[in-house]
Amino acid sequence: MLELYYFHGATCGLKARLALAEKGVDYTHKVVDRPYLRTREYKELNPNGVVPTLLHRGTVLIESSIIMDYVDEAFDGPELKPDLPLNRARMAMWLKNADDVYLPSLGTVTYTVSMRHKILEKSEVERKKYLDGIPAMAARERRRLALEMGFESPNFAPALLELDRMLDDMETALGRHEWLADATYSLADAALSPFVERLDELSFAAMWEDSRPAVTDWWDRVKTRESYDQVLGATPNPERPQHTEKGSKAWARINEILTRH
């Protein structure tokens, strides 16, 4: 029995779901909402109060990159890791950067551009409860600054520039081989797709369409894969319309930061 806890639109949940879809593994979809992540019941599974969480034969696995690796190792299906040690190391680097750099950066950008407005509509008491409910201190502080200072937060421009650097690194890697870590699709492609998907949802596609032909081509190829269709085509992010509306309004500002640096 395999169960995956996630919510639609969660970047980390998408990483796990794309790996499962590429592998051709069926699982029970435990689609949860954000308030449920803060319950004692859920935190017994995932003490960080985040998705994804994978349950396999009574064992709990957390952390999207670890789940992806486990899925590739534990099930039959296409091999999602390169053969060559060097390319395996390259794949591991993409997964590490996804966890350490791209996810916090994307969170800052998404909350500042799109989610902030909804949270600011809450009362002060509700807002405090919301922030206090974020278990990881670093994430809580990033979120607090995004809410209180918006684009003026000292984190905003660096976060955006990290994502721009991610696209630069992708362009370089895709000049070496057809996929991010190898000539064939790997966990690196599954891990990076949700980040590009979010930038697309925010209508920031000019970040690659204007100047990064290899990323543009890669993204077109990702979107024609069955895994993308199963995971995102079947259930698009319900927050996509909001991201697109707020992102379009923010684009002039985003572009100004990108061109200034």
Ligand X SMILES: N[C@@H](CCC(=O)N[C@@H](CS)C(=O)NCC(=O)O)C(=O)O
> What is the binding site for ligand X (CB under 6 A)?
10-12, 34, 37, 50-52, 63-64, 99
- Smaller CB separation from ligand X, 174 or 190: 190
| Distance separating alpha carbons of residues 190 and 205, to the nearest angstrom | 18
Q: Look-up: residue for tokens 């004692």? A: 40
Of 82 and 194, the one with the shorter C-beta distance to ligand X is 194
Place of tokens 């890669």: 218
Shortest distance in whole angstroms from residue 63 CB to ligand X: 5
- Between 125 and 138, CB nearer to ligand X: 138
Q: By Cβ distance, which residue is nearest to ligand X?
A: 50
| Contact of 6 with 30, CB cutoff 8 Å | yes
Helix then strand count (H, E) for the chain reads: 15, 4
Q: Between vectors from CA 94 to CA 92 and to CA 98, what angle results, nearest 5°?
A: 115
Query: CA 117, CA 100: separation in Å to the nearest integer?
Result: 26
Residue 9 or residue 174: which is nearer to ligand X going by CB?
A: 9
If the CB atoms of residues 54 and 174 are measured against ligand X, the closer one turns out to be 54
Give the nearest distance from C-beta 115 to ligand X in angstroms.
8
β-strands 53-56, 59-62 pairing = antiparallel
Q: Compute the least distance from the CB of residue 51 to ligand X, in Å.
A: 4
Min separation Cβ 252 and ligand X, Å: 27
The least CB distance from residue 42 to ligand X, in Å, is: 10
Cα–Cα distance for residue pair 124/122, rounded to 1 Å = 7
